[in-house]
Structure 1
Amino acid sequence: MNSSAQATMFLASRILLSLLFIVSGARAAMFFPGSAAYFASLGFPAPEATAVLAILIELGGGLLLVAGWKTRWVAWLLVAFVAIATATAHRFWEFDAAQFNNQLNHFLKNLAVIGGLLYVAAQGAGRFSIDARRS
């Protein structure tokens, strides 16, 4: 594969990964009371502050991932964020039969997202990024 195609694929993968975070963060901000209530239902202390932090990580991390700025660090931050979200919100084994499959799917999807982010953390942003222009 030539380097131009590879660089384009790195950019496409960053965009596709980031969409999950940008859309989720934007929706959490638009429906903030529900977001805070959700964190309260999970037992988080200071659910409003937790919701603000989650929104900042999702929106900021998603946008930085698209831009390719501090990409490896951002990928690691998002790995930690998704791991915490998975461990606290998608414990499929604790749900009843009606919710089990949905939560299992979220759990597995999050593992796949973590896999993609680990790849970004290992490989970097690629040529079409702020990181590449600064080096």
Structure 2
Amino acid sequence: MLSSTTWFYWAFLSAVFAALTAIFAKIGIQGVDSDLATLIRTAIILLVLIAFVGYADKWRNPFELSARTWLFLSLSALATGASWVCYFRALQIGEASKVAPVDKFSVVLVAIFAFTFLGERPTFQEWAGISMIAGGVLLLAFRA
């Protein structure tokens, strides 16, 4: 059984890998069009996920999924693709130490969207933390 804090470790690992993504991408896109770099990255991710799903025996016929699941996974995929294209373009022309914090403004937007569309109700303490993240993004992105 998973503990109630297991999500934190996965989220922390996500942050570590996201940080490495910025560094590796900044190095990797030198002299390469950012859209081509995004395509290469996506193809590699696809191959790795195919191997992972197969190895972990998690394959399920995707055509058995509901139309609602397909709709929202499709929208998520389109948003992910748009995010990656924008992120790589920003990395190509900006400093990683400025691009990454602005990209992490998504944390603030997720809280606002979750409040608006999912009915989540962060506490005052959580809103304070979200506000600090927003302030931190501004301080890091627009430093002198």
TM-score, length of structure 1 as denominator length: 0.31
* Structure showing greater Rg: 2
TM-score, length of structure 2 as denominator length: 0.30
Q: Which has the higher helix share?
A: 1
